[in-house]
Every structure is written in structure tokens, then in C-alpha cells.
Amino acid sequence: MHYKHFLLSLSLLSLNALAEVEYKLVIDQAQHHLGNVSVAFPKSAQAHLDVKLPDWRTGRYEVLNLANGIRHFNATDQKGNPLSWHKIDKSTWRIHIDNPTKVKVSYQVYANELGKRARHIDDSHAFIDASGFFMFSESFRQESVLVDLDVPKQWRSVSGMNFAHDKHSFTAPNYDVLVDSPIETGVNELHKFTVDGRDYELVIWGQGNYDVEKMLSDLKKLVKTGSLIWHDYPYQRYVFMVHATSGARGATEHLNSTIIQRHRDSFAKRKDYVGFISTAAHEFIHTWNVKAYRPAGLVPYDYINPNYSDLLWLSEGSTSYVEDYLLLSAGITTASEFFKNLTQTLNMHFSTPGRQIQSAAHSSFDKWINQGADHGKNYSTNIYREGSLISLALDIDLLVNSDGQISYRDVHKQLYKQFKLPNSFTSRDVQDILQQISGQDYSDWWNRHINEPLNLDIQPLLDKVGLEYVHPEDAKPIANLQVEAKSTGQLLTLTHVARDSSAWHAGLTSGDKIVAFNGHHVRKTLADSLSYFKGKEKVKVDFIRRDQLMSTDVILDNDFDKPKIVRAISSPNASQQKLFKAWTGIAHPASQ
């Protein structure tokens, strides 16, 4: 190579190495939920530069229309001269460039959607998910980024990203890391700890009835459990972010952190606390399952369009399943709490008519458009619940066929080994792993349990590990209408009518307002109203629809006043005890 050409190439490489996208967020109207953003893009010689705000955020498979909070957009060249621009779709701004130049854009963000966990600003804090704040260009998506925050002096900023030049600035290798590394800044409390050479932080915004010492103690136990499944950890530092709020609830996994939102008074009671630590476990597992390996269709992320996969049941439902195992193995939860969670999952599954219509694969693909409420329950499934039960069935099947030597955890161990990002995996890849670890062809099993609606014969499955799914001995027979209703004044308004139930065939539907049964005015609850009848009894139902009084006859169903529960059998044999231990990591309750 000619020496001048060598120097030119070297200088171009140096320029590229120094290319950096610089973000700045100024919060000086926090009480009005407003922030001002500026983004400096490296020099571009393109005829135009398209800048975009994501239309959804990772961890929530739903179009959120985040660009609706953007106002006062402006673009200038490196000398500060205005550049012309226009929008080409709801989330993309096209900036026209006459000569090669750096480009700076600025705009205002309205951030008052705490529950979506994408953007929120008030006078006490800001939760900053880049998908809700920071625009990007595909041309510079892989360039390093710098984020500077100009926030009130008393605020503290925390993120899974590394700090840059001060306590309110962060750096990331590219936009994909930035968009998966939220920032919590504001008035908060921060606790740091180290486990097995890795650093952790717990940052809490909001006052509540939480016990920080209890949280820290259990989080230290939880983070050690990754080695029960995977051969290494995909991070050196991890941040647990907690919002103790008045309304928003839920959680989202991220590359190096999680955000957990709970009502401020829902930490102290044991049931509430188990809900919190289970959520923490769920998001922690996602650090591997989804963030370190994920299905084809989600690699790389397309931030503007839906990302389709028939394996979201594995990404979410398997995570829900594994969380209970990790918590039980670590001694954070008890066997009875483990059984209670499984009971809830099974009861919800069997009371959802949609399980007979929609498969887990179909539900995964349609997660972007699946709806809840009455029609959703009757015709759709839930990727969390169905995925958890598929994982259960597959886990016990693997354990039984290998005499306790191989489990579903081995599937996830291999997914991490073989398909770590930037790779991705398909349904065929998972089936190949199943055959590799078990020596058996699972294609027929896959079709029957995943590609078709899940028809779970649960009792023979649970019997293998010494459990049963039965009504409690003190459960009493009652009449049931197979509907859900809420009290609205002097009436009971139906919110759900189970498909193919007697009420369904009698013509009752969601929205009907029940006035009376057999001429007697309804009581405050549906259970009280039906308490005077027996199963298989024919009753006349008077109801209001379209402001007109109507009536129909319904034959009531048989039911029990207490739902079925999962519990340990009293006398498990040696095989059941062995498989239970291999399955849960603890001894069978009857053998203790």
C-alpha cells in the first residue's frame, strides 16, 4: 500500500473509532413531566438522515406509539444552521443534508407514562428508557453513545451502563445497549453488594412498607442461583430498580438491570413479598433467557415494527416456570408456596376456554395483537401460563425418561451455549437440543403440546413426582353459572361468560345486567345469589340488555366452593421421592 494511502486509511479508521452519538437530556420542568433532548450525530455525507424513536420497547411485545410525546423537533448542521426535515411516518423524521456535516437534533419529550416503563418524569425522579426518550439513526446504530443528564442537584442517577465523566453521565458501546439499559434518576435510596465477585445495586424510588434488609438478604441468595442452570453469568454488574408507587405495577427485564413496579403498600405481607421476590427472580432469569439468547425474529431487534416469533411462550412462560424452581432451591420460598403458585397456574389454565382454541405457538406469534377480557378468555391463551405448563410437562417427561438425570434446565443450558447472541434459535433448534440431550425425537410431542392447543392430563404427570391436584376435603358442592360478574349498584353486570357453558348456550353475554334469579332480586355478589340453588337446577334469569328487561332459562353447573389445589401425597414411593428431589432441588415433604 502506498504510504499516503496508508495514512489516509489510518485517519479514516481513527475518525470512525471516534464517531460517537451524544445524547443530552435536560430536566428543568419536572413538575410538568417535560424533558428537552438533544442528539449529536457524527458527520454524514448522505442526502438525508432518518432519525427514529422506537415504536415499542424491549420486554413488552406491544406497539406503544412512543412518538406521540415528541414536540418542538428541530435539526441543525455542525455550524448551527437549520436543516429542513419532514416526517415520513409516525416515528421517523427525515432530515435533508446538502453537504457532508454533523447533524444535531433537538426536541421536547412529554414523559408521564410510568406504567409503560418507557418514560416518566415528575418532581421527584425520572425513569429513562431510551426507547421513550432517545432517537436513533440506523446509520449510526452501532456507534458508541454518550448520555449526559442535566437534572436537579439533589438527584442521584443509577444505570447498568458505565459512568462517563461525571455522576450523571453514562456511556454504552452502541444504541442497542443504551435502549436496554434504563436510567433511574431522582430522590432514591441506593444499596450496593457483591456476590461471587459480581457487583449488584438495589435502587428504590418511593416510600413504602418494604424491608430493605429482607430484600437484600434474599436478592443475595437469588443471584447465586444462576449457576444451577447456566455455566456462567452474562454480566459483571447488575442493578435492581424498584418503584414503590401508588398505581403502576409490573416489571421489565433489561440487559444489565430490571425495573420492578409495585404498590407502595404491597411489600410487607408474606403473600405480597413473595410476589415481589418472584418478580425479581423472573427478571433475573431473563438476563439469560431473552437477553443472552432469544428466538429468531427478535434478533436483531426491529424497534419500529413488531418482532414476530412462535417461541415467546419459551421466552416468558419458561421464565415463569424456572423462577419458582430457583426460589425454592435457594430457600427463599417454601414448598407450600411453590405448590400454591402451581395451583394458581393450573386453575387459571383450566378456567380459560381459550386454551382449547389457541396453541402456545399461535399465542406467541399473536402476542402483539392478543386481547384480554371476555373474548380473549374464550378464544386466546396466555404465553406466560401456557409456557409455564408446557415447561412443566416437558421437565417431568425428561426427568422420568432419564431417571432424574436430565431436565428442562438442560435445554436452557444448551440454548445459552449454542445460541448466545448475536445468534438466534428456532423451534427446530430447540427440538434438536431435546434430541441431543435425551436421545429421543420430540417432534410429535412438540406438535401435540405446542403447535396444537395444550391438552394437559395433569394428574398422571404430577403423580410421577408425588403430587396430586384435588379439591380439599372440606370443599362443599355448590351451583355455578360459569360467568364472572361485578356488582353495579343493585345489579350484577357480567364481565365474562365462559364459551360453551350453560349460560353461553342460554344466550347470556358480557355486559348483561342480571336483575333476578327465579324472580328474587340478586344479592351483592354472584356467589351469594346462587347460594340458594343446587347444581343442575333450572333457574330463570332476568337481565337488562340495551335498557330492556329480558329473561332466559339456565341449567346451573355443579361445582365446589373451594378450587382444586396441588399438594404432596402422603406416602410417595422411592421413585416419586427421587424424581421430586431432581425436579425441585429439595426433598419431598412427606419424606422429611
- What does the chain come to in residues? 592
Q: Residue 555 above 70 pLDDT?
A: yes
142-164 confidence digits (pLDDT tens): 999 999 999 999 999 999 999 99
pLDDT for res 105 = 98
Q: Which of 401, 430, 420 is nearest to 318 (CA)?
A: 430
Peptide bond into 300 cis (omega under 30): yes
Q: What is the pLDDT of residue 291?
A: 97
Q: Can you give the three-state secondary structure of 151-198, one letter per residue?
A: CCCCCEEEECCEECCCCCEEEECCHHHHHCCCEEEECCEEEEEEECCE
CA distance 469 to 563: 10
CA–CA distances in Å: residue 261 to residues 211, 236, 264, 304, 588: 15, 24, 9, 26, 34
The residues, any chain, with a CB within 8 Å of residue 300's CB and separated by 6 or more, are 176, 422
Average pLDDT of the residues in 75-89: 96
Contact by Cβ (8 Å): 254, 160: yes
For residues 404 and 107, give the distance between their C-alpha atoms in angstroms, rounded to a whole number.
58
- Give which of 46, 37, 27 is closest to 105, Cα–Cα: 37
- Residue 288 class from Cβ within 10 Å (0-12 exposed, 13-18 middle, 19+ buried)? buried
| Distance, CA of 84 to CA of 63 (rounded, Å) | 29
- Report the pLDDT averaged over residues 82-94: 97
Q: In the CATH hierarchy, which fold is given to the domain comprising 311-458?
A: Neutral Protease; domain 2 (1.10.390)
Q: How confident is the model at residue 8 (pLDDT cuts 50, 70, 90)?
A: very low
| Predicted pLDDT of residue 372 | 83
Question: Where in the chain do CATH 2.30.42.10 domains reside?
Answer: 477-560
Q: Is the pLDDT of residue 311 over 90?
A: yes
Quick: pLDDT tens for 284-303.
999 999 999 999 999 999 99
Is the domain spanning 477-560 CATH 2.30.42.10? The answer is yes
pLDDT band at 19 (very low <50, low <70, confident <90, very high): confident
The whole-number average pLDDT for the span 314-319 is 98
What span, in angstroms and rounded, lies between the C-alpha atoms of 497 and 512?
10
Domain with CATH 1.10.390.10 in the chain: 188-292, 311-458
The grid coordinates listed for 252 are 421489565
Q: Is the pLDDT of residue 87 over 70?
A: yes
The burial of 563, by beta-carbon neighbours within 10 Å (0-12 exposed, 13-18 middle, 19 or more buried), is given as middle
Residue 139 has pLDDT above 60, yes or no: yes
pLDDT in tens, 260-280: 999 999 999 999 999 999 999
Amino acid identity for residue 451 in this structure: N
Q: What is the mean pLDDT of residues 191-214?
A: 97
Name the phi and psi angles at 353, rounded to 5: -60, -25
CA distance 330 to 253: 21
Is-cis flag, bond preceding 422, omega within 30?
Answer: yes
21-184 — its CATH code?
2.60.40.3650
Mean pLDDT for the stretch of residues 73-96: 96
Name the percent of the chain lying above pLDDT 70: 97
Beta-bridge partners for 513: 493, 544
Q: What is the predicted pLDDT for the residue at 18?
A: 55
Three-class DSSP labels, 308-366? CCCCHHHHHHHHHHHHHHHHHHCCCCCHHHHHHHHHHHHHHHHCCHHHHCCCHHHHHHH
The pLDDT tens digits of the residues spanning 429-477 come to 999 999 999 999 999 999 999 999 999 999 999 999 999 999 999 999 9
The secondary structure of 249-276, three-state, reads CEEEECCCEEEEEEECCCCCCHHHHHHH
* Distance, CA of 411 to CA of 318 (rounded, Å): 11
Q: Say if residue 533's pLDDT is above 50.
A: yes
The chain-wide mean pLDDT, for the chain, equals 95
- Please return the burial class of 6, using the count of CB atoms within 10 Å of its CB with bins 0-12, 13-18 and 19+: exposed
Q: By 3-state DSSP, what share of the chain in percent is helix, strand and coil, each rounded to 5?
A: 35, 30, 35
- Sorting pLDDT into bands at 50, 70 and 90, what band is 370? confident
Across the chain, which distance is largest between two alpha carbons, in Å? 100
Q: What is the DSSP letter of 367?
A: G
> Start-end ranges of CATH 2.60.40.3650 in the chain?
21-184
CA 105 to chain centroid: 32
pLDDT of residue 302: 96
The confidence band for 14, taking pLDDT boundaries of 50, 70 and 90, is very low
pLDDT of residue 398: 98
Using one digit for the tens of pLDDT, what is the confidence trace for 214-249? 999 999 999 999 999 999 999 999 999 999 999 889
> Distance between CA atoms of 484 and 508, rounded to whole angstroms?
12
Grid cell digits, residue 253 = 427485564
Q: Dihedrals φ, ψ of 290, to 5°?
A: 120, -50
Buried b / exposed e along 73-109 (16+ C-beta atoms within 10 A): bebbbeeeeebebeeeeebbbbbebeeebebbbbbbb
Residue 591's pLDDT is what? 85
The CATH number of the structural domain formed by 188-292 is 1.10.390.10
Contact 56, 123 (CB under 8 A): no
